[in-house]
Chain A
Amino acid sequence: MTNPFSNLDAKSALKHFGEMNSKMLKGATLLTDIEDIDVGTAPKEVIYTEDKLAVYHYAPDAKIACGVPVLVVYALVNRPYMLDIQPDRSFIRNLLSKGLDVYIIDWGYPSQADRYLSMDDYINGYLNNCVDAVRRDAKSDKVSLMGVCQGGTFSAIYSSLHPEKVHSLVTLVAPFDFSTDEGLLFNWSKSMDVDALVDAYGVVPGNILNDGFLMLMPFNLNIKKYIDMLDVMEDEEKLLNFLRMEKWIFDSPGQAGECLRQFVKDCYQANKLVKGTLQLGDKTVNLGKITMPILNIYASGDHLVPPAATKPLNDLVGSKDKTLYEFKGGHIGVFVGSRSQKELAPAISKWLIERDAPKMAKKPAADKPEKAPKASTVAKAVEAAKPVIKAVEAAKPVVVAKPVEVAKPVEVAKVTTQPAAKPVEVAKPAEAVKPVVAAKPATDNKQ
């Protein structure tokens, strides 16, 4: 047999290695000059905080065309600034430019003190409070929910339990039917011993989940991505794009153990959401109770949340106005790809604006002048709360040692002091938002 390696052109290979070295040297100079990798730069302000989470309101970028505020519910895995990763590839800026009034939940970084938070706490507790906060801030009876990935699952569950507060539901690449064998994560999770994981860690470190994501395409995500990085090392902008994505990928909050335990057991392993047997606190989740308009978006090339896991939602809800939207791309391409900027974000904006109800907008639901309550009844309730509040206060120094994390002041400070970056025209030529070649494969390993 001929030596198979004889068909490698040694001269050409050597030349190539020489060029690689040259790029590395130039890139090294650029890398040392980069002081900060800025992400999530669209101007925003905090309107609500609770424990570790914060709700931000983005500064409108155009005349509000949609009276119902949109609350973006991101996944607990990874950070929500993916939707505003850089000014010229910002899903959020795109929605703002179309006249949407956008809010977003930043779940924060759970610490060990949050290990007992359950799905019920996140959905009926935090998410419900965030919805109320947005309703108050926007003076609107209802909000439109835009759930991303796991956030989409949570949003659908919430919409079924509190339909009176949800005007429209948009879900992006969110899993609902976990019985599919198409995605590796779905396969692996079925035989995963989540009890051992949660019992060992309490709050499961983000790195453990990252290891799983990297295993989905180990050669591309661990080797090729960094080899390809050499191609952009001479260009500061492209290099920064790569580094922003890299920062996002490994900026992974830990997962509250009890919530993760239930999500894996009840959803991935028992598929209770589709079966209508998922229990949250004292409530059973019935997706048939979702009656508001829904826009369910799936990505045809999604290897994290395969279309088979997303599409069944439309058959399970009770809504008459329901749209299934196919995005031709991968999981992260939904947010940062050029097609996303040109097609998807404008389509979502259009869909929401079309369903906006001027008659219900701007109702000062929570801002009515409040009458003084009867002193006796309030005093009774306050009295009952006193010992509990006292106990919490007493425990504070021990467990609430990192109040800084609650509102993530670093990011707040960054966005409030920065001037508004120039928004991207949605209809801009594709080149302006063309994804970085090297960064693209690096993106699709996360929820």
Chain B
Amino acid sequence: MENPSDYFNGWMKTQQQAYSALQNQMQSLYQNSTAASDNPFTSWSKAVFEAFPIGADANLAKDVFSKSLYSNEATQKLFEMWQPLLNAMREKTLDPSNLSQFTDPAQTKQLFDKMFSFDTDLWTQMQKQAAQYADLAKQNSQPWAESMKNPSFNFSDYQPDAMAKQMEAMYAKFGDTTGKLFGVPALGKDREKIEQMNRFAKAMSSYAGRHLEYQQMMQKTGSEAMQSVVKILAEKSAAGEKFEKFDDFFALWIDTNEKTFNKLFYTEDFSAKRNAMTEAGFNTRKLYNEILEAQLVDLPIARRSEMDEVYKLVYDLRKQVKDLNSQIQGLKKEQM
């Protein structure tokens, strides 16, 4: 379906054809109803009227109809639609020529909108809302998506600094926009689980950010080490020195890297970034375990937190037993 109006136009066209055919048929049948008692249509309409004591108690009829068709709102509305016609037939006040009013596009559309909950106002409203959602989504995603469109940066190039800055910018934008969705309070019976998932997603995001910082620092240092190796090679080359064996170069490479990284490892910046990354990783793992536990709660297995309680109990009991054993030994010695 391209759009709602296409749907309704097509539907209306079909309905008009159906009503026209029905109008012709009913007019013909109604005019000849007394003479055609064994006409299949009269037999059918008689059975229908008997089944639905329309007029005596419309609400009861409605209920019966609903129940007989396993009740749903659509069928009730369908009944409401046909009830005037059926009443008119029963009361013999039906003028088949008036059936044309049923084919009035505006009225039918209104009726069927109601029947299928197609509220045009609502639809219009929904269209507006959809547009608002689209705008919101765009507002949310565009900043961090656009932050990736840095013409001076190319992912295929090995540029640790540029890549880190790019990713940092993306994460920052993401946190200010879409990332906020993770902080929206959850509702309903699964609220706790949803909040757990949100906390986990946040922790993952935090870990990814810390990991990126750490990775960037290591890549930068690796790059510096490589430049140092190249510099040493250049100096050797200028001095006319030559590596006789690959081992010699390998030793130089290992030694230069080790020294360069060792220098980094002694900095406070390294300790801080490494610890921030591992801490974020440990927190993520902890939250992941909590999610697992929440999912496993209905299974007949002991969960980690429950086992920890048992371990604690056993630990305390073991200590008590050992203390008591020690007291017994002490008492035995006293008796000697």
What residues of chain A have their CB less than 8 Å away from a CB belonging to chain B?
Answer: 1-9, 12-13, 16-17, 51, 112-117, 121, 125, 184, 187-188, 190-193, 196-197, 199-202, 215-220, 223-224, 227, 368, 370-374, 377-378, 381-382, 384-385, 388-389, 391-392, 395, 398-400
Contacts and interface: CB of A to CB of B under 8 A. Distances in A.
B298 interface: no
Contact of B233 (A7, A200, A373): A7
Contacts of B279: 193, 196
Interface of B: 230-231, 233-234, 236-238, 241-247, 249-250, 254, 257-258, 261-262, 265-266, 268, 271-272, 274-275, 278-279, 282-283, 285-286, 289, 302, 304, 307-308, 310-315, 317-322, 324-325, 327-328, 331-336
8 contacts: A2-B238, A9-B244, A113-B315, A116-B315, A199-B282, A200-B285, A220-B254, A388-B324
A124 to B, nearest CB: 11
A395 B332 contact: no
Most B-side CB within 10 Å, residue of A224, A388, A400 = A388
Most A-side CB within 10 Å, residue of B247, B262, B318, B331 = B318
B237 A2 contact: yes
A59 to B, nearest CB: 29
B331 A113 contact: no
Q: Which 7 A-B pairs have the closest CB atoms?
A: A373-B335, A4-B233, A371-B336, A385-B324, A200-B282, A196-B282, A13-B246
Contact of A388 (B275, B289, B320, B335): B320
B282 A395 contact: no
B331 A4 contact: no
Given A200-B283, A388-B324, A395 B317 contact: yes
Contacts of A112: 307-308, 311
A193 B315 contact: no
B283 to A, nearest CB: 6
Contacts of B322: 125
Given A4-B237, A196-B283, A202-B308, A395 B313 contact: yes
A200 B308 CA distance: 12
Given A370-B332, A392-B321, A9 B308 contact: no
Contacts of B242: 7, 9
Contacts of A7: 233, 236-237, 241-243
Contacts of B249: 8, 13
B308 A6 contact: no
Contact of A115 (B250, B274, B308, B321): B308
Nearest to B325: A385
Contacts of B334: 373, 377
A400 B241 CA distance: 66
B328 to A, nearest CB: 5
B335 A191 contact: no
Nearest to A377: B331
Contacts, number: 163
A200 B280 CA distance: 11
Contacts of A201: 282, 285
Contacts of B336: 368, 370-371, 373
Contact of B311 (A116, A188, A389): A116
Nearest to B242: A7
A391 B317 contact: yes
Dominant secondary structure of chain B at its interface with chain A: helix
A378 B278 contact: no
A5 B232 CA distance: 10
B27 to A, nearest CB: 82
Nearest to B285: A200
Contact of A192 (B275, B307, B333): B275
A356 B197 CA distance: 65
Nearest to B218: A218
Nearest to B332: A373
A9 B243 contact: yes
A184 B271 CA distance: 9
Contacts of A224: 250, 254
Contacts of B238: 2
Contacts of A381: 324, 327-328, 331
B282 A219 contact: no
Contacts of B311: 112-116, 399
Nearest to A375: B335
Contacts of B233: 4-5, 7
Contacts of B244: 9, 12
Contact of A378 (B236, B308, B321, B328): B328
Contacts of A125: 319, 322
A227 B286 CA distance: 38
Given A16-B246, A381-B327, 17 more contacts: A2-B237, A2-B238, A9-B244, A117-B315, A188-B265, A188-B275, A193-B279, A217-B262, A370-B336, A371-B335, A374-B335, A381-B331, A385-B328, A388-B321, A392-B318, A395-B314, A399-B314
Most A-side CB within 10 Å, residue of B230, B231, B241, B275 = B275
A398 B231 CA distance: 62
B214 to A, nearest CB: 12
A227 B250 contact: yes
Contacts of A3: 237
B230 A4 contact: yes
A229 B106 CA distance: 88
A6 B237 contact: yes
Contacts of B302: 398
A266 to B, nearest CB: 18
A190 B327 CA distance: 40
Contacts of B313: 391, 395
B247 A398 contact: no
Contacts of B307: 112, 398-399
B321 A385 contact: yes
Given A188-B271, A193-B275, A395-B317, A16 B245 contact: yes
Contacts of B312: 116
Nearest to A385: B324
Nearest to A221: B258
B50 to A, nearest CB: 71
Contacts of B243: 7-9, 12
Contacts of A398: 302, 307, 310
A183 to B, nearest CB: 10
Nearest to A374: B335
Nearest to A115: B311
A377 B274 CA distance: 58
A147 B241 CA distance: 50
Given A16-B247, A115-B308, A399-B311, A389 B282 contact: no
B282 A4 contact: no
Nearest to B259: A219
A392 B261 contact: no
B206 to A, nearest CB: 12
A31 B261 CA distance: 33
A193 B308 CA distance: 21
Contacts of A51: 318
Contacts of A368: 336
A81 B60 CA distance: 90
